[in-house]
Chain A
Amino acid sequence: MADTPPATARPIAGGPRTALAHDSAVKHVTGRAVYTDDIPELPGTLHAAIRLSDRAHAAILGIDTAAAATAPGVCAVMTAADVPGEVDIGPVFPGDPVLADGLVEYAGQAVAVVAADRLDQAIAAAATIGVEYADKPAILTAEEALAAEHFVSPSLTFRLGDAEAEIAGAPRRLDGDLRIGGQDHFYLEGQIAYALPGEDGDMLVHSSTQHPSEVQHLIAKVLGRPDHAVTVEVRRMGGGFGGKETQPALIACLAALLADRTGRPVKLRLDRDVDMVLTGKRHEFFARWRVGFDDDGVLRGVDMELAGRCGMSADLSNAVIDRAMFHADNAYFLGAATITGHRCKTHTVSNTAFRGFGGPQGMVAIEYAIDAVARAVGKDPLDVRKANLYGGPGRETTPYHQRVDDGILPRLIDRLEVSSDYRARRRAIDDFNAAHPVLKKGMALTPVKFGISFTATHLNQAGALIQVYQDGSVQLNHGGTEMGQGVYVKVAQIVADAFQIDYDRIRITATTTGKVPNTSPTAASSGTDLNGAAALDAARQIKNRLVLFFAEHFKVAPEGVIFKDNCVFVGNEAMSFGAAVKLAYMNRISLSAAGFYKTPKIWWSREEGRGRPFYYYAYGAACSEVLVDTLTGESAVTRVDILHDCGDSINPAIDLGQIEGGFVQGMGWLTTEELWWDAEGRLKTHAPSTYKIPTSSDVPEDFRVAFWRDGGNREDVVKKSKAVGEPPLMLAISVYMALEDAISSIGHHRVPVDLDCPATPERLLHAAEAVRAASGGRKAAE
């Protein structure tokens, strides 16, 4: 080893467990992070605008594009008739035409698209396109669709035992219903694609997407070309939250169609209002429940019906409603259970993935029912929650027959109960409420148990590509997309650890279908679990080659080759990683590898409603305290305590960001974020002036977040971490239940509360007045 430079062994910087800043943090704060709209435009780039449907449900009798075609700057106008390949771009099931094909099924659907030299010209031209409609009756709400049995796909039921008999035989019974609102993703960067036509019919598309592979395949489909002609690339998104899983395909396909038609680069960037009207959102739900329970509030049987408003097509709704059903138990053993999910077809935008993917709605429904049970038996809701948790003999089976036997949640809740000072604060709140007629406080401590894995089992796979260069620097690529959640930095930390080199030796590169094919969406909280494991596999392949080579070259046993502290140790000698790699190159060792991973152990039979759909569960619990003005319904969250299970966190700073950010996003969903349609099915809250996501002052100053550090992950997940993207959103259910608790206090927790969500001031005031009336109490001030 005389010809290798001396190596300095030094512990690596930025491996797992390090609270590294986001890989793009400095670029974010200096404005140098490049988003799709920031890519320098090629000369000749055209800008596109979409003509949206004015009607919720109508046959299209004619589309008049004559004026648009001759408008200033216009280069192309396209309708469904002009699509060279297939018109339908449904991601799983058909039903999503790229442009309306003789029929519009929601107000805001894309009918035609224009490309012009300038964006203002495209917008002006699109507005001139005349559409002749023959209106058809429109179904707008889940309840209407449920009554009419108007579904996008068949209903499904999970069964555990005989719920009917158990409810009938239980000492006490209750029933109720609940309307759960939807949610707009409100990613700060709107949907966008920039399509660049190439030679031989190739198309390179920069798309702000969580699912580049699907965008690639659908572009190929509408163009009538093989997948290999299309490359889709995304360096970063300005937020995704599920809204860029299936939805970007429409935008990218339209841009590619226009680019193909004109032979010029085409950018389609949606204005905020168009984005909110055109693209899908979190599903609204109508839930009906019947429960049987004993005098302690312990559930004997539950019958839950969950009707999701899917909108005009199936999109991902089958899986979304499934996941609502999977989480209709939240953390509780329901006794016998019948859980039915309906997929309601409405003439509104097709609803889609959104952080939690139906899970939050299922959980809200059972938590709401649990509160009603607690009121019925006169107990603190926390005691009823604890009494119903999974655990103990015969209490470990979910309605889909997966076992919950890791025993984490009872301990986690006990600890949060103590650390949040729940009991003393409960007494203080009771005292406050007794003394205050106008303002009422409320508090709730609610758990989250969230199943980790795509329930479509085939999606639980990932690929990665690692290339080591001769100087020992490393390029990392994988199917995970970066939307702010930090998958790039976390996977890079895993790879740094595998090679035992500093994190900054690894260059993170844009996700592209040209490097790693057939990827799954970055969704279901799986980004790091899957792509981290695939990257680790690639790193191990390269390391194994290096180990075998060094063992042979230096005549030592393979066990004598060790990667550590930015060096490769062979026997008693150390080489810098760069020198080692150079030596391997000179000896013709491949320094590039494609890694692959598929999640073990999981299976799911949808037909039987039975299996192990989830590799493991992620847990958390939150205790929220609120203040409600019972004269106006205004409310404020005054304190939040969270204890969350990330396993062994790969990057505690990034994971903390997911917990806090998820919680606040969930809080918005359940409080101020109200989607409001008029009687004609037109969304009227389509911009931040009317659709109100939380702002800084909505977040309490007293916001305490801690990690549950006792467990790691008993499954063989990369670095023993746990997925953290979605689960924290559902911690915000504690805010909703705390608001309900505040309203309930008006009737001294003895009168039923009817509070749909989001709990806007209007709904809170309405609920408060109803409880006041029902409790026979006099008006606050009297």
Chain B
Amino acid sequence: MQRMSDRIHFLLGETATTAAVEDPTTTVLQWLRARGRTGTKEGCAEGDCGACTVVLGELDGSADAPRLRYRAVNSCIQFLPTLHGRQLLTVEDLAEPGGDLHPTQDAMVAEHGSQCGFCTPGFVMALFALYHDPDLPESPDRAAIDDGLAGNLCRCTGYRPIVAAARRALGGERADRFSRGRERTMEALQAIRAGRMPEIDGFHAPRSVTELVRLYAERPKALLLGGGTDVGLWVTKDHRRLPALIHVGDVADMRDVVDTGDTLDIGAAATYTEILPALDRRFPDFAAMVRRLGAMQVRNAGTMGGNVANGSPIGDSMPPLIALGARVVLNRAGQRREMALEDFYLGYKRTALEEGEFVERLRIPIWAEDRRFGVYKVSKRRDQDISAVCAGFAFSLTEDGRVTAFRAAYGGMAATPKRARAAEAAVEGRPWTLETVAAGMAALARDFEPMTDMRASAEYRASTARNLMMKLYLETTGQIGGPKETRVARHG
């Protein structure tokens, strides 16, 4: 029998708001527009154009030192019940009640940053999120601005005036009524969080692994929802009816990133944005690639754990993770097991997960010795594009210059993310020379039979896979001056 769902509680702008959840897969965008808040636009309904960008205010940090963090997300694939206990800001909220524009809005007008105007609310909200990003320097450079805007498509302006607006709005001190009202907002959110979790039919939001284990054991057919950057499309594009959802975004002990010195231990519910600082410290190449994965809105919602568990052959996290020797920690009813990531994949979107089992953590070993590591993402467009080929390589050199523990993993080349075992074998134990790398390149033909699709032909994938190994050789031998002169991408 249909049970009545509770209402969820959140702040809409600065106003405490409740919403009935009839269908947990109602998107935030649908909810806003149905209420007549039509400033937020639908451009693609798949999280790729940013016209629907809104900002979520979320409590972060420890219980005794809480912080309020603002992050831009795509409302077109954000499910309504995930708003509970958060603040939702849309383009209508930014101007002062008297009508004065927010600095980000003002800059967009002054720099002629809008033409047709349809993408503009999304850009304004992306700029607003940057405005409130404590890690963004006072006068961000072009690369930082591009990182913040890559998830917003504009078809009219050619972006130059929008970048100029970003410089204008983000230069100098950044303080607005939202930063001034921070304490009040946090109190309001804390009050909601202190209350009982609403009981929503078909939607569960556990706050600890223990609670998650219990819920999942009771509902083994339920679907675990991370950032929803893939699952959202099952609803908006495939029009699928989903089973009960267990949202892991509030599972605090699965959202942490711990650097133990021996491993980088990543909770499966940590977003890319949350993982990036640790990656920057330990694996800057990996971090640079992650900054081209999705865009700010996707990285703010999407989780590396979700990418891994989903097991798409074109997931970009896996080749570098496998190259680094990452392991997955699986949990089933509290019983944990651990395995090498490459063993997790059994076939096209098929993994070793058993019914009721979930990915709890990712563990990347931190090598004591000097390990060479390279990660490459090749796509038609530099930012926010799915790779034609993605590759991760790692190896060490013995004192006499021989390759040891060579690991090569590719995405886009097979039905799963996969190690190139034949190529690895061709290289292992041999001196790191042009001859050796040529042998490795030739062996790739035994590892992969890539396919042709809209992203690339089989031939291109095969040539590029080979050439990336050459690129690794050139970059690690310093023959032609290091990465700057072998890559065109601004990040790389």
Contact = CB atoms under 8 A, between A and B. Distances in A.
B is a partner of A:
yes
A29 B108 contact: yes
A765 B116 contact: no
Contact of B95 (A30, A684, A687): A30
Interface string A652-663: 011011001111
A187 interface: yes
Contacts of B150: 695-697
Nearest to A628: B488
Contact of A762 (B146, B385, B457): B457
A189 B154 CA distance: 11
Interface string A233-270: 00011111100000000000000000000000000000
Contacts of B378: 632, 634, 761
Contacts of A439: 485-486, 488
B486 A629 contact: yes
Contacts of A697: 143, 146, 150, 382-383, 490
Contact of A438 (B108, B163, B379, B471): B471
B210 interface: no
Contact of A31 (B46, B90, B108, B464): B90
Contacts of A703: 160
Given A124-B239, A664-B158, A689-B48, A25 B92 contact: no
A134 interface: no
Given A484-B116, A657-B158, 20 more contacts: A22-B114, A28-B121, A31-B92, A37-B33, A120-B239, A188-B155, A189-B118, A439-B488, A484-B156, A632-B378, A632-B468, A653-B112, A661-B155, A674-B380, A695-B150, A695-B152, A695-B383, A697-B143, A697-B383, A769-B463
Interface in A2-58: 19, 21-22, 24-35, 37-38, 40
A657 B381 contact: no
A634 B489 contact: yes
A672 B157 CA distance: 17
A688 B153 contact: yes
Contacts of B44: 272, 687-689
Contact of A632 (B160, B386, B467): B467
A64 B379 CA distance: 42
Interface string B95-128: 1000001001100111011111111110010000
A436 B485 contact: yes
A25 B120 CA distance: 9
B457 A672 contact: no
B16 interface: no
Query: Which interface residue of A485, A663, A685, A765 has the most chain B CB atoms within 10 A?
Result: A765
B38 interface: yes
Nearest to B117: A28
A692 B112 contact: no
Nearest to B121: A31
B122 to A, nearest CB: 9
Contacts of A185: 155
Nearest to A436: B485
10 contacts: A31-B37, A40-B36, A272-B45, A438-B471, A629-B487, A631-B464, A636-B490, A694-B381, A696-B163, A762-B388
A762 B378 CA distance: 10
Contacts of A484: 114-118, 156
Interface residues of A, number: 92
A781 B470 contact: yes
A289 interface: no
Contacts of B113: 29
Given A30-B95, A239-B155, A628-B488, A25 B454 contact: no
A736 to B, nearest CB: 15
B159 interface: yes
B43 interface: yes
Contact of A761 (B383, B388, B480): B388
Interface of B: 33, 36-46, 48-49, 51, 90-92, 94-95, 101, 104-105, 108-110, 112-121, 124, 142-143, 145-146, 149-150, 152-163, 237, 239, 376, 378-386, 388, 434, 453-457, 460, 463-464, 467-468, 470-471, 473-474, 479-480, 485-490
A657 B380 CA distance: 26
B486 A438 contact: yes
Given A40-B36, A188-B41, A761-B378, A695 B118 contact: no
A18 to B, nearest CB: 13
A684 B157 contact: no
A699 interface: yes
B161 A657 contact: yes
Given A696-B159, A699-B160, A483 B116 contact: yes
Determine chain B's interface SS by DSSP, over half rule. Answer: loop
A684 B101 CA distance: 42
A701 interface: yes
A31 B39 CA distance: 4
8 shortest interchain CB distances as A-B pairs: A31-B39, A484-B116, A238-B118, A28-B117, A664-B158, A484-B115, A688-B48, A31-B91
A657 B239 contact: no
A692 B295 CA distance: 14
Contacts of B105: 26, 29-30
A690 interface: yes
B453 A684 contact: yes
Interface in A625-681: 627-629, 631-636, 653-654, 656-657, 660-665, 672, 674, 676
A175 interface: no
A497 B440 CA distance: 72
Contact of A781 (B110, B143, B152, B434): B434
Contact of B386 (A239, A438, A483, A689): A689
Contact of B155 (A127, A187, A692): A187
A486 B115 contact: yes
Interface string A425-437: 0000000000011
A760 interface: yes
A273 interface: yes
A657 B105 CA distance: 18
A683 to B, nearest CB: 9
B237 A273 contact: yes
A239 B237 contact: no
B381 A698 contact: yes
A338 to B, nearest CB: 36
A30 B118 contact: no
Contacts of B39: 30-32
A483 B120 CA distance: 14
B148 to A, nearest CB: 9
A82 interface: no
